[in-house]
Structure 1
Amino acid sequence: MAFANSMGGTLYIGVADDGSIAGVENPDMTTQQIANMIRDSIKPDITMFLHYETKEIDRKQIVAVEVQRGTERPYYLAKKGLRPEGVFIRQGTSSVQATDTAIRRRIISGAGFVCGIQNRARNVKTGRILFFILFM
């Protein structure tokens, strides 16, 4: 989710934090489990921004999950909702909770959203637009 809320990235399943290769026993089943978990726990649907690939390193199989930057940001944990506890972004090499400000920025910069505001509300003050966005 943090990758989709930021600039994208790749997750490597079967690789430890120190870079050592542990591998996965059944890459197909692992991919299916990851896909199900993501589909069930992250909103809005992020699955169209994911690409799975099995790779072999040192005779061990890993699963690479390429995550593209999403167009319906911010993405959040369904159980936590659209608030800092449920939204994560990337900062350097870490995933961190988003602030209220970071969440608002992602809502406003969502694909087509700013364009729609500009076309429909040229003479409306920004404060009124933000109020509308936050209380839709």
Structure 2
Amino acid sequence: MRAPGIARAAAAVLAVEAVALLVFAAIEMAGLGAGDAASLPTAIALIVLTLIGAAALAAFAFGTRAGRSWARSGGVVFQVLAIALALGALTLPPIPWAFVLGLGIPAVAGLTLLIASARREGTRREAE
């Protein structure tokens, strides 16, 4: 069965976020290789957790594309956490606007698409 357009758009947002985390992990690894880490175990743990997050987002993207509710639920959790992180960054002087907007806008878009996708799926199932 072909996924509705909203589900495909939500999956695309999740996939782009997964790729962004992979890029961030690569930057972290380059910094680790350059000796920029203050604590080697902490740097390695951060890289591993970033890669786990990227894998989770990729799984949620594939699951959302397939119309799985567990994937939408996991995606919603990630989007809410990203929005909270972006809002928390607003308290830092000076405000890192690139970070806030770069994280917040995709998270709000992803959350909106995931909720719309879930509503569309619920309406479709009620009609059957």
**Structure-2-length-normalised TM-score:** 0.36
Q: Which structure has the larger Rg? A: 1
Select the structure that is richer in strand.
Answer: 1
Q: Which has the higher contact order (CA 8 A, sep 6+)?
A: 2
